[in-house]
Amino acid sequence: MLRKISLSDMKKEKNITRYGLEQGAGYTFKGWRLCITRGGERFVRYFSDLKSGGPEQSLAQAVKMRDIMLAEIEATPGAIPEIFGRYRRMGNEQV
């Protein structure tokens, strides 16, 4: 279950930033960017507003994935490459 998050919460969310890619006359991507760096490894995932049903829903998905990943990293800090690799292969909707 995704927790309700408003756009005003975006300043409070660590590792998550608002992201928009402009190309031509308008934006071609609007959403959120999740970026976690641990042990010299970096994980980046984008959560599209369009595919998720709006900015609140895409933010909620990014927060959910971040929370799950950070809990796994805390439980097994030596397995960072494996954790990042598993989530790179996973789609946003599978979290």
Residue 44 belongs to some domain of the structure: yes
* pTM of the predicted model over 0.75: yes
Higher pLDDT, 24 or 71: 71
The answer to whether position 22 is within a domain reads: yes
Q: Is residue 85 part of a domain?
A: yes
Domain that holds residue 24: 15-90
Is residue 34 in a domain?
Answer: yes
Residue 10 has pLDDT above 80, yes or no: no
| Nearest Cα to Cα of residue 5 among 83, 93, 94, 13 | 13
Classify residue 47 as exposed, middle or buried by CB count within 10 Å of its CB (0-12, 13-18, 19+). buried
Note whether residue 10 is domain-resident: no
Total tally of structural domains belonging to the chain: 1
Higher pLDDT, 57 or 6: 57
Q: Is residue 4 situated within a structural domain? A: no
In a domain, 50, yes or no: yes
pLDDT tier at 2, thresholds 50, 70, 90? very low
CB neighbours of 26 closer than 8 A, spacing ≥ 6?
none
Least Cα distance to 14 among 63, 74, 83 occurs for: 63
Write out pLDDT tens, residues 17-55.
998 887 777 668 889 999 999 989 999 999 999 999 999
Residue 8 lies in a domain: no
